[in-house]
Amino acid sequence: MSDFYQTGVISTLHRLGKPSLERLEAELLYYSKERPIALILPSLYSELKGEALKGIVKELKEVKYIKEVVVSLGPCNEEEFKHAKEFFSVLPQKTSIIWITGKRINSILEAIEASGLCLGETGKGKSVWIAYGYVLSKKDLYVITLHDCDILTYSRDMLARLCYPVTNPNLDYEFCKGFYSRVTDRMHGRVTRLFFTPLIRSLQKIIGYLPLLVFFDSFRYALAGECSMIADLARVIRIPSDWGLEVGMLAEVYRNCAVKRVCQVDIADNYEHKHQELSPDDSSKGLFKMCVDLCKSLFRTLVSEGIVFSRGMMNTIIATYGKTAQDMLERYEHDAAINGLYFDRHADCMAVETFRNGIKLAAEIIMKDPLGVPLIPSWDRVSSALPGIWEELKTAVEEDNS
């Protein structure tokens, strides 16, 4: 983005001028000797057939500063797992595929649950968490970088900018979140611009000053799947197993890091990935489900901060959200007009209505059960319950990949 304005309480690292990718990569190669980097790719098997992941693999072939690539592969059978190993074998970095539904990994997950720890349902959060555990088991990796596998506009530049703030010891951040614009002939990113930001600002109006809400509102793209962190942070955070992953992770970052050691970085002029369906009539899929999961994660985080929700307060939140979202929708319409972008007011109004219904549904769930399903425990907690777990996980992944 073209401005250099510092907003909120975290550092914003902008994209100014024409940054040199060669300089960034040369510095990362130097710093990564002391601070080795692991790249985690949470992937569905279906993404191996898409153009986005093929483009990502092609770009990663040229990256020299990543020590290990860890692919956390979603539900698949043995034949599909073998195909995944072949698909990623072209990468020059050491590459490990975690077979989430394989017998070895399942045996480890069952042992963890047998010790009394709840791991939740299979989903992106759980896949990322298992990958964290494997990286931690290696003991020689300092930086963990994470990004999605459906990025159609992927380039090495994105990865370099995402890694740099945590890898460069002169900056020495503990956590970095990527941000970007999502624009084609129209604006995308409906969940962020029409749900999350209006909801956070509505909560600030109702609750008043709360440092956690200010922290959330400081991120330009709080729901971005791209982030980097020091490995020690991955050891102590707890995360949701569902679509609430990004909100849950930011809440844990807030709890475990000094705010001055958290930043966000502009990683791309534009970013394009697959678009989820709104699914306004089905809360079990699409953006409707994402909204409900995010909202539950947010409300439960606020409960843990001492906020007491009543039915009256929930009704006020829903009403305030509706007004705030409509006001912001009008701003986006004006923004689209000056830039000559197509703006479908009806579609965005439909999205706001769906998200309002999602908040209402999440509110009902929270009122019945404020605590809900526990977050996936931190790896510190797991290793305390099962002291040999990291070695078992490391061995299981290596044997699957042999």
SS3 361: helix
As a CATH number, domain 11-401 is 3.90.550.10
Residues 6+ positions from 114 with CB-CB distance below 8 Å: none
Domain borders along the chain are 11-401
| Phi, psi (degrees; rounded to nearest 5) at 119 | -105, 0
Of residues 243 and 346, more confidence is placed in: 346
Residues 6+ positions from 227 with CB-CB distance below 8 Å: 145, 146, 147, 162, 175, 176, 177, 178, 249
pLDDT digits (tens, 9 = 90+) for 48-73: 998 999 999 999 999 999 999 999 99
Among 114, 297, 170, 324, CA closest to 223: 297
Query: Is 0.85 surpassed by the pTM of this model?
Result: yes
**pLDDT above 80 (res 100):** yes
SS3 72: strand
- 241 phi-psi bin (left φ>0, alpha ψ -120 to 50, beta other): alpha
> What integer is the mean pLDDT of 15-44?
95
pLDDT digits (tens, 9 = 90+) for 110-127: 999 999 998 888 888 899
pLDDT digits (tens, 9 = 90+) for 254-302: 999 999 999 999 998 877 777 678 888 887 788 999 899 899 999 999 9
**pLDDT above 70 (res 5):** yes
In whole angstroms, give the CA distance from residue 318 to residue 202.
9
pLDDT score, position 275: 67
Among 121, 147, 151, 119, CA closest to 133: 119
pLDDT digits (tens, 9 = 90+) for 350-386: 999 999 999 999 999 999 888 777 789 999 999 999 9
pLDDT score, position 2: 61
Torsion over CA of 26, 32, 33 and 34, rounded to 10 degrees?
130
pLDDT digits (tens, 9 = 90+) for 80-95: 999 999 999 999 999 9
